[in-house]
């Protein structure tokens, strides 16, 4: 409890999906999808071997709601992710499907890059009976459709 309020610390990993910024302030998935739709090369920093555990926003929302309603979670720190990581090279290929549409660029701060990031969400499974439902491929397709819809409205 903090100041008499029940507290749970939630740690969702690398969430992506609709409403995420698609410029350089956004996340890697939305940036890659937007560049693909604009027929621009996907820019991968360094050698592209760095990995991330990518969680679709609807899965993240379900995790947050379940945790906020969970009395046995008070005082806990709970991670949310898929438990699977993907390299930036593989992510770029999954999104664009063509090596010629990917460009590796110099990483300005390689010393600060986390090379492997993968989530252990076993506590979320145990306490909340929560697991992500949306695959990376499905999440990317949903995000791509959302970006296209937004562009048609503008």
pLDDT tens figures, 76-117? 999 999 999 999 999 999 999 999 999 999 988 877 888 999
**Do residues 50 and 114 make contact, with C-beta atoms less than 8 angstroms apart?**
yes
Rounded distance, CA 124 to CA 80, Å? Answer: 7
pLDDT of residue 2: 61
Chain-centroid distance, C-alpha 154 = 26
- In this prediction the pTM is 0.91
At the topology level of CATH, where does 9-149 sit? UDP-galactose 4-epimerase; domain 1 (3.90.25)
């Amino acid at each position: 409890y903090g100041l008499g309020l029940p507290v749970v610390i939630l740690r969702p990993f690398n969430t992506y999906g609709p409403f995420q910024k698609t410029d350089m302030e956004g996340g890697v998935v939305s940036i890659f999808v937007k560049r693909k739709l604009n027929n621009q090369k996907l820019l991968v920093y360094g050698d592209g071997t760095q990995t991330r555990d990518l969680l679709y926003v609807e899965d993240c929302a379900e995790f947050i709601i379940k945790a906020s309603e969970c009395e046995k979670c008070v005082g806990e720190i709970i991670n949310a992710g898929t438990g699977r990581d993907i390299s930036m090279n593989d992510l770029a290929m999954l999104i664009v499907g063509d090596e010629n549409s990917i460009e590796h660029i110099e990483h300005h701060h390689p010393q600060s890059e986390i090379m492997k990031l993968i989530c252990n969400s076993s506590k979320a499974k145990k306490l909340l009976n929560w697991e992500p439902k949306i695959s990376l491929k499905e999440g990317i397709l949903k995000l791509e459709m959302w970006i296209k819809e937004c562009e048609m409205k503008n």
